[in-house]
Amino acid sequence: MSDLITFAKDPEPHVRGAAGWKVIVVDDEPAVHAVTSLALREFEFDGRPIELIPAYSAEQAKRALDLNPDTAVILVDVVMETEQSGLDLVRYIRDGMGNDQIRIVLRTGQPGEAPEQAVIRDYDINDYKEKTELTAQKLATVMYATLRAYRDIVRLKDLSEELRKSKAAIEVAERAKAAFVSTVGHELRTPLNAILGLSEFMIEEAHGPIGDTRYKDYIQDIHASGKTLLAMVENILDVTDDATGVVKLHDETFDLSETVEECLRKLSIGGGPNIDARLRPTKPIHIRADRIAVQRMLLALLTNALKFGATEGHYGISIQKTDAGRLMLSILDDGPGLDDDDLKELTRPFARHEPSYIATNKGLGLGLAVAKLLIERHGGELKLQRREEGGTRASLIFPSDRVIG
């Protein structure tokens, strides 16, 4: 019986990890490149091989550095085009490029031309080796040390950049929080003080037994302050819900014209002399939307038109369908109008940009921001435009699928 002969399997191909560490070899002797490649062909660090990039002169090395800004290590011969080519290249890397990450190792076959002590003292290098002493083992040792240093430097720089960005973000958030707390504290305190103060007058019957006509005025003021406070809280909750992804719409079909009239009555301007009756809707216009949300959007736009329009300005309400079947409800005023910065700023939550014509305005800066959030929840958009004839057009644009008929 003959013995079985078992042939050995071919060795598995060497599976490398991520992209290689880039190492530029700068030497004018081709043999040095060949020996370096042979010595490091199986070298790995942190699961990554080495990618050798040859350069046969200092000028070639500069071009290689420009093309490979993520180079980890550069092995530099001292004497090439000139006796100082390698040293000049070191100066270029550190001072000209401002690169303090790359690890620089000088290799020289003529140590007399560049004494080690003087070079280490005068040049920002990381190691100095004579070619005669740089065996394959010592070359690998140098590579481990320099790549480890490069890796740690990059990590520290990345961490430092992340910390810088985090610090900047925290500072912005802190400023926004401080401004918000200050604004909310002031704006909520005013109606609350009215509610508490007037209530105390009534409790103490400061003007005599309840029944005095002045108490009716107090009650009306209390009611108005309570409504103001409620509107502020609702706006804050809307912004909070939007930030947390909590969106609740209660759709129903209703007449938008009736809703407009209701909002005008709430603002006590239904029959006011400043409204352009020609623009008001006169026939039913049905949409499918959240009625309460639509009321709040309309009240926000109407309130802004009243506050920021001309002192004796007129305003109007326009409802029209676009060619795409969308419905555009516009509030027009003939005030000073908006500039480009105002248009960008006014729909940001808690915006305190304060355009010139509203420099004395007080509030949370949420009205238009909430209107924008609510119309976007309906799949529409809020559009602010300067009118050619003066003033501002603020439009709520509802998508066609919400328009009935």
Residue 158 lies in a domain: no
pTM: 0.43
Q: How far apart are CA 290 and CA 256, in angstroms?
A: 11
Q: Which residues pair with 54 in a beta bridge?
A: 25
| Domain edge (last residue) among 210, 244, 278 | 244
Tell me, yes or no, whether 79 and 210 share the same domain.
Answer: no
- Residues 187, 193, 195, CA angle at the centre, nearest 5°? 110
Which residues are within 8 A (CB) of 354 and not within 5 positions of it... i.e. 6 or more apart?
361
| Domain edge (last residue) among 205, 225, 244 | 244
What is the domain extent for residue 282? 251-404
Q: What percentage of the chain reaches a pLDDT higher than 70?
A: 72
pLDDT at res. 16: 39
Tell me, yes or no, whether 76 and 95 share the same domain.
Answer: yes
Tell me, yes or no, whether 240 and 274 share the same domain.
Answer: no
Q: Which of 244-248, 288-292, 293-297, 318-322 has the lowest mean pLDDT?
A: 244-248
DSSP-assigned letter for residue 95: I
Chain segment 199-233, per-residue pLDDT in tens? 777 777 777 777 777 777 777 777 777 776 766 66
Residue 68 lies in a domain: yes
Q: How far apart are CA 237 and CA 298, in angstroms?
A: 18
Residue 57 lies in a domain: yes
Tell me, yes or no, whether 31 and 99 share the same domain.
Answer: yes
Q: Check pLDDT > 90 for residue 27.
A: yes
Cβ of 79: how many Cβ atoms within 10 Å?
Answer: 17
Q: Which helix (H) or strand (E) holds 251?
A: strand 251-255
Q: Check pLDDT > 50 for residue 47.
A: yes
Q: How far apart are CA 153 and CA 141, in angstroms?
A: 19
- Residue type, position 192, single letter: L
Residue 10 lies in a domain: no
- Confidence tier at 73 by pLDDT (50, 70, 90): very high
Residue 358 lies in a domain: yes
Q: Which of 116-120, 215-219, 232-236 has the lowest mean pLDDT?
A: 232-236
pLDDT at res. 1: 39
pLDDT at res. 345: 57
Q: Give the CATH number of the domain where residue 217 resides.
A: 1.10.287.130
- Give the CB-side neighbour count of residue 185, counting CA atoms within 13 A: 6
Query: 15 in helix, strand or coil?
Result: coil
Cβ of 320: how many Cβ atoms within 10 Å?
Answer: 13
DSSP-assigned letter for residue 110: -
The pair of structure tokens assigned to 34 is 């060949």
Residue 312 lies in a domain: yes
Q: Give the CATH number of the domain where residue 302 resides.
A: 3.30.565.10
Residue 218 lies in a domain: yes
Tell me, yes or no, whether 268 and 390 share the same domain.
Answer: yes
- Confidence tier at 244 by pLDDT (50, 70, 90): very low
Q: How many domains does the chain have?
A: 3
- Confidence tier at 272 by pLDDT (50, 70, 90): very low
40-44 long-range contacts, CB within 8 A, separation 24+: 40/139, 40/140, 40/143, 42/14, 43/140, 43/143, 44/16, 44/17
Tell me, yes or no, whether 56 and 98 share the same domain.
Answer: yes
Tell me, yes or no, whether 369 and 294 share the same domain.
Answer: yes
Chain segment 78-95, per-residue pLDDT in tens? 888 888 899 999 999 999
Q: Residue for token digits 């690998």?
A: 140
Tell me, yes or no, whether 269 and 195 share the same domain.
Answer: no
DSSP-assigned letter for residue 385: E
Among residues 299, 387, 298, 372, the alpha carbon closest in space to that of 335 is found at: 387
| Domain edge (last residue) among 72, 106, 134 | 134
Residue 90 lies in a domain: yes
- Confidence tier at 353 by pLDDT (50, 70, 90): very low
Tell me, yes or no, whether 350 and 213 share the same domain.
Answer: no
Q: Give the CATH number of the domain where residue 36 resides.
A: 3.40.50.2300
Instruction: Calculate mean pLDDT across residues 282-300.
Output: 86
Higher-pLDDT residue of 278 and 64 is: 64
The pair of structure tokens assigned to 73 is 């290590």
Tell me, yes or no, whether 261 and 229 share the same domain.
Answer: no
Contact 402, 332 (CB under 8 A): no
Q: Check pLDDT > 90 for residue 198.
A: no
Question: How many angstroms separate the Cα of 155 from the Cα of each of 53, 102, 142?
Answer: 23, 13, 20
pLDDT at res. 363: 46
Q: Which of 52-56, 149-153, 269-273, 335-339 has the lowest mean pLDDT?
A: 269-273
Instruction: Calculate mean pLDDT across residues 176-194.
Output: 68
Higher-pLDDT residue of 90 and 120 is: 90
Tell me, yes or no, whether 264 and 400 share the same domain.
Answer: yes
Tell me, yes or no, whether 277 and 388 share the same domain.
Answer: yes
pLDDT at res. 357: 36
